[in-house]
Every structure is written in C-alpha cells, then in structure tokens.
Amino acid sequence: MDSLRPRWAGGRPPKITQEMRSRIVEIAATRPQLLKEPFTRWSLTKLRDYLINSKVVPSISKERLRQILLEEKVFIHRTKSWKRSPDPDFDKKAARVLRLYRRPPGDGVVICFDEHGPISPIPHPGWSWTPPGRAQRLPGQLQEGQGRALLLRGL
C-alpha cells in the first residue's frame, strides 16, 4: 500500500538560483551604459548575452529570462526626463507665477516671458526594465547660451 502514496523526492535542483534571479533583476534595472555596454536599453537578447558573458548564469533562454522578469515584477517602461531649476528660490518664484495664472488681477493683464533653449531635452527618453512604478529618470539638460525669449500670451 505504500506504493500508492509515493514520497516526493523534490525533483532536480533549479538551474537558476535565487541569488542569480536577484542579480538578473538588478542588472535588468541598470542602464546598459553604466555597465559599459554600447547601447541605451536592454532587449531580452542583449540582456541574455550580457548575463551569460558576465557569468551571472551559465545559460538561459530568452523565454525563461522573460518569465523570471515577469515573476519578479520587472516590466519594460518608457524612461522619462525632467528639468529642475538650480535656483534656490525656484519654488517661491514658481508658486507666485502659478498663483497669477490661477487668479490674475482683476484690473490688470498677466504677461509671461520665458527664456529657454531647445525644447527637446537631451538625452532622449527610451525604454528600460524596471519594477512597477519605478520608471528610470533621465535629467533633461538645457544648453546655456542658446536660449531665446518667447512670449506666452492670452487675450
């Protein structure tokens, strides 16, 4: 009767250990350029090749890599850029401008001037593998000396 209830022996040990999985997630969430790779984002093929060449894993298929990233909740997201002023009084100045936008003086006119350089920030956004809600951020740089005055008006 014991043969009707065989004991589970556990199967073969996994080829990808938890330590390897953690390292895969860490590398996938890192920009390739920071690892001295000549491209801006990971594809599954490039990530797989990097993991094998750097001996993180002995071998792995693209499909298994995709499954691991999905199981670890690492998804591909569009990177975003932002520009932040170095002016220490920026928040106060911005609050004043926004207040004027929301509540212009009843007996006056609000005229705004803004000086800025090229509108497209460098570097350009791309795609990256990241956990949910953690899209990578790239600083948007405006080049000094190339600004021009633009008039924003509303009548």
Type of residue at 39: F
8 assigned to some structural domain? no
34 assigned to some structural domain? yes
Domain that holds residue 36: 18-114+124-139
Distance CA 31, CA 86 (A): 25
Per mean pLDDT, which range of 10-24, 26-40, 91-105 is the poorest? 91-105
Number of domains in the chain: 1
10 assigned to some structural domain? no
53 assigned to some structural domain? yes
91 assigned to some structural domain? yes
pLDDT (tens digit per residue) in 96-152: 888 887 888 888 787 776 665 555 445 555 666 777 776 666 555 544 544 444 444
8 A C-beta contact, residue 94 and residue 41? no
pLDDT (tens digit per residue) in 39-89: 888 999 999 999 999 999 999 999 999 999 999 998 887 766 667 778 889
Stated pTM of the model: 0.52
Cα dist from 131 to 28, 54, 100, 140, whole Å: 10, 23, 39, 22
